[in-house]
Amino acid sequence: MADRTALIVDDEPDICELLEMSLSTMGVTVRTAGNVTDAKKLLQEQGYNVCITDMRLPDGNGLDLVEHIQSNYPELPTAVITAYGNVEKAVHALKAGAFDFVSKPVDLEILRRLVETALRLAPGNAAGSEAENTLLGDSAAMDRVRSMIRKIARSQAPIYISGASGTGKELAARLIHDSGPRADGPFVPVNCGAIPDHLVESEFFGYKKGSFTGATRDKEGLFQSASGGTLFLDEVADLPMDMQVKLLRAIQERAVRPIGDHREVPIDARVLSATHKDLAELVEDGKFRQDLFYRLNVIELHMPSLAERPEDVPDLAAHVLARIGREWDTVPPKLADDAIELLRDYAFPGNVRELENILERAMTLSEGDVIYAQDLHLRPTVLSESNLGRVTAGDGDEERDAPARGEQDLETYLEEVERDAIVQALEATRYNKTAAARKLGISFRALRYRLKKIGIE
């Protein structure tokens, strides 16, 4: 196979000639076919780096060819040419496995960027290896996640990452980026719920100097910052409705208009989104635009909760403890068997993030080299459903079903009490840490860890 080859499938000779001339300036060798049958024959004769097909062909349509390539040449990125404004056809093509799409009349600059991205996916590219090395867990649920990431990393389709809080949605987004053809470009995460409503548009699209009071210079928006890479919209459900309209247009038109500018600026960023909320339910309630949901949710990647993969908890816990040990330059304690069993039975409303908090607290409070079940301070009210029968008969239903949301308030209160006690001990010993640890009845290692955790040096 030549170094850079493309197959163009279109029954209009003028379009084929235009695309061939455009790609030849990039050093790409082009072969053309006027229908699905001829395209299949050419695919059998040699390999290609990229295929671009029109949706309407004399003996079928582009979707037929996309599905044929997915079944027989899964390493070949295939883009489709759709009629202007026909978003529904484009989304169908992406769901069928198309790499990307371009609308008629074809913008040659967009086409060249598309092809350049596709050329980074040479057959045999081990996209997804990063995901295998980073996502921990041997459960069937995590195997499915890794397999899904390997597939969607090669595409440019918008991905919606669903899952409860703390399941690692941003980590998944980073792995999709790192495992795909945009890995050399920027990964720009943004928490949509953290941006004040009156600043959302300027943050996303940028602004021109003098466009409003305080605009003392031009500023590029998040879409421009993510050019050539990936824009990750975390907590996308929190976007105000008026911004949802503008976001939809930006994604569909692949262009944004900075505030105060009279022209649109082309953008080249893959969009990934996530939220812990149920977007479909929000659409039904009229709190999220259905057309934007349809555009973002081309492919859904679900991140399983820890309750769905309890067999992964021991390995995750060991990894977290090792990381804490490296961060605080200390040998981490080991987990006793009863602690591992208790962790496996715990429901983890906060998932991996909660597991990290539990282990940090246990490592701080434990005195020896082993963390036992009692050091975890877990409440039986949040045992997993499959283990509720193991709660002692003395626990009433009201206590067993107590909402976990109050637990955070308790943790905050305990942290404040802990901080006050440490500060008082330090002041009483004139900041002699060894004496303060003795006064508190804890080891020097435990005191040092607590000081770093609460930000006191």
pLDDT band at 440 (very low <50, low <70, confident <90, very high): confident
**Is 387 domain-assigned?**
yes
Same domain? For 13 and 139 the reply is no
Tell me what the pLDDT averaged over the chain comes to. 86
pLDDT for 19-31, tens place per residue? 999 999 999 999 9
pLDDT tier for residue 436 given thresholds of 50, 70 and 90: confident
Provide the residue range defining the domain that includes 442. Answer: 411-457
The verdict on residue 382 lying in a domain is yes
As a dihedral over the C-alpha atoms of residue 232, residue 238, residue 241, residue 243, rounded to 10 degrees, the angle is: -40
Q: Give the model's pLDDT for residue 277.
A: 93
Q: What type of residue sits at position 312?
A: D
Q: What is the pLDDT of residue 420?
A: 81
For the ranges 128-132, 155-159, 442-446, the lowest mean pLDDT is seen at 128-132
- The per-residue pLDDT for 452 is 74
pTM, whole model, 2 decimals? 0.78
Domain-terminating residue out of 261, 281, 302: 302
Determine the average pLDDT of the residues in 100-121: 91
* Residue 226 counted as domain residue: yes
Same structural domain for residues 226 and 327? no
Q: In which residue are the tokens 């539990």 written?
A: 358
CA 317, CA 355: separation in Å to the nearest integer? 7
> What pLDDT score does 210 carry?
84
60-101 per-position pLDDT tens digit: 889 999 999 999 999 999 999 988 667 788 888 998 999 999
Q: How confident is the model at residue 212 (pLDDT cuts 50, 70, 90)?
A: confident
> Are residues 15 and 79 both part of a single domain?
yes
Same domain, 388 and 420: no
What's the confidence (pLDDT) of residue 126? 45
208 in Cβ contact with 198 (< 8 Å): no
397 and 346 in one domain? yes
Q: Residue 457: what pLDDT? A: 63
Residues 143 and 283 in one domain: yes
Return the residue matching tokens 């489709």.
80
- CA pair distance 323, 327, nearest whole angstrom: 6
Average pLDDT (313-339) is 90
Report the range of poorest mean pLDDT among 21-35, 226-240, 320-334: 320-334
Residue 177 lies in a domain: yes
Given this model, what pLDDT does residue 411 score? 61
Residue 124 lies in a domain: no
311/343 Cα distance (integer angstroms): 10
pLDDT in tens, 139-191: 999 999 999 999 999 999 999 999 999 999 999 999 999 999 999 999 999 99
Region of residue 431 (left: phi > 0; alpha: psi -120 to 50; beta: else): left
Residue 157 lies in a domain: yes
Q: Quick one: pLDDT at residue 19?
A: 94
Share of residues in the chain with pLDDT > 90 (%): 59
Please state, as a whole number, how many other Cβ atoms lie within 10 Å of the Cβ of residue 261.
15
Q: Are 161 and 173 in contact (CB under 8 A)?
A: yes
The two structure tokens encoding residue 397: 């239903």
Same domain, residue pair 103 and 204: no
Using alpha carbons, select from 418, 423, 444 the residue that is nearest to residue 433: 444
345 within some domain:
yes
The percent helix, strand, coil of the chain (3-state, each to 5) is 50, 15, 35
Question: Looking at the structure, do residues 82 and 107 belong to the same domain, yes or no?
Answer: yes
- State the pLDDT at residue 403: 41
Nearest Cα to 52, choosing from 87, 89, 16, 92? 16
Alpha carbon distance 88, 298 (integer Å):
10
Judge whether residue 249 has pLDDT over 60: yes
Work out how many domains the chain is built from and give that number: 4
267 and 210 inside one domain: yes
pLDDT band for position 434 (50/70/90)?
Answer: confident
DSSP letter at 199? G
Residues 375 and 418 in one domain: no
Give the pLDDT score at 85: 64
Of 122 and 18, more confident: 18
Higher pLDDT pick, 213 / 11: 11
Give CA–CA dist 382/396, Å, rounded. Answer: 13
- Same domain? 298 vs 315: no
Of 119, 141, 165, which closes a domain? 119
- Is residue 53 within 8 Å of 39, Cβ to Cβ? yes
The CATH number of the domain holding residue 111 is 3.40.50.2300
Please provide the size of the chain in residues: 457
The dihedral of CA 346, 347, 351, 354: what is its sign? negative
Q: Work out the pLDDT band at 407, boundaries 50, 70, 90.
A: very low
Residues 313, 297: one domain?
A: no
User: What CATH number should be reported for the domain holding residue 360?
Assistant: 1.10.8.60
pLDDT surpasses 60 at 322 = yes
- Of 68, 101, 119, the one marking the end of a domain is 119
337-393 pLDDT per residue, tens: 999 999 998 988 889 999 998 998 888 877 788 999 988 888 654 555 444 444 433
